[in-house]
Amino acid sequence: MIPKAPIGFLNLNKPAGMTSRDAINRVQRAFRPQKIKIGHAGTLDPLATGVLMVAVGRATRLIAEVQNQTKVYKAVFKLGCQSPTEDTEGEVTELVNPPIPSQAELQAALEQWTGTIQQIPPAFSALKVNGKRAYDLARKGKQVDLEPREVEIKQLVLLNYHYPRFEVKVECSAGTYIRSLGRDIAQTLQTESVMINLIRTAIGDFQIENSLELAKQTKKEFCEALVPPIVALPHLEKVSLPQEQTLKLLQGQILSRFERSVSVQNPEKPFALITPKCELLSIVQQLRNGDWKAERSFVSAVEYQAMQAVS
């Protein structure tokens, strides 16, 4: 049996007006008086709604894996206006006699910003400049110069266009700023834009249709909604080993290439060590000499032995 301490992911549907930190605090309060570590994978601005993956307990060790998975959004932009924050959180200024792009021109601009692109993040972002948050500098009226970053826009589909508003579906890599994507599209059309609505509909395999509304949920309801950690690792190869070999890895020992009973398809990449019931035990890396070493474990050796005693 997996440890009694809660572990897994909550697929939450964050409402508008709430920060990602607020959502974390709400989950944290539900688990009191237990001191459970809580974290989230991929911040959503207060304006945005949709999928916010919250890691509970030892699943927080997998936040980076979830954060780096493909994200899907639906966004609405308004052309012919601008804002220092690139959304409606800042003061919106209407442009004088801006151009009115045709649908064909807008479609061509979308195609130009599809694929691997260089994106300059917004000044009002949590990125750091010389150790300080960019948004803190921007709020003080200071110049914020952020370097372009490579991101991938895997899919950019026009869903609706009725000037001045257009709606798109965006499938993108981690680190993409959707409001900045709208800015770049607008500037390609010789105008400006402001993002007025954003919904994150998916992170990896986690879909908004299966998300949990963040109402006054109880600890029991949160625990029932927890998604097993292994579900967050569709990209990792899964390996199950005999008990003796598994225990050795969970004890922090090296499993020699001469001892192990199986091989992995891609020895350069880490893989998930699981039980025969597909419960996540550890993430293991193959060393240069072919030996195996556990990088991050989610079950201790003692807990694993207890699991075997009752199975």
Q: How do residues 265-309 score in pLDDT, each as one tens digit?
A: 888 999 999 999 999 999 999 999 999 999 999 999 998 888 887
Residues 91 and 64 in one domain: no
Cβ–Cβ contacts within 10 Å for residue 131, how many? 5
Are the C-beta atoms of 122 and 47 separated by less than 8 Å?
A: no
Are the C-beta atoms of 41 and 205 separated by less than 8 Å?
A: no
Q: How do residues 56-94 score in pLDDT, each as one tens digit?
A: 999 999 999 999 999 999 999 999 999 998 999 889 999
Q: What is the pTM of this model?
A: 0.89
Structural domain span for residue 277: 236-310
Residues 290 and 211 in one domain: no
What separation in angstroms does the CA of 149 have from each of 102, 118, 127, 181, 283?
A: 29, 5, 12, 12, 29
> Residue 255 class from Cβ within 10 Å (0-12 exposed, 13-18 middle, 19+ buried)?
buried
Residues 107 and 171 in one domain: yes
**303 within some domain:** yes
**164 within some domain:** yes
Q: Does the pLDDT of residue 130 top 70, yes or no?
A: no
- Alpha-carbon span 249 to 274, nearest angstrom: 12
Q: How many domains does the chain have?
A: 3
Determine which helix (DSSP H) or strand (DSSP E) holds 22, and give its type and residue range.
helix 20-31
Please report the sign of the dihedral spanned by the C-alpha atoms of residue 265, residue 269, residue 273, residue 274.
negative
Q: Active-site residues: which are they?
A: 45
Q: CATH no. for residue 147?
A: 3.30.2350.10
**2 within some domain:** no
Residues 278 and 293 in one domain: yes
- Alpha-carbon span 56 to 94, nearest angstrom: 44
**53 within some domain:** yes
Output the average pLDDT for the chain: 91
- C-alpha gyration radius of the chain: 23
Residues 188 and 84 in one domain: yes
Q: Does the pLDDT of residue 1 top 60, yes or no?
A: no
Q: How do residues 17-68 score in pLDDT, each as one tens digit?
A: 999 999 999 999 988 878 889 999 988 988 899 999 999 999 999 999 999 9
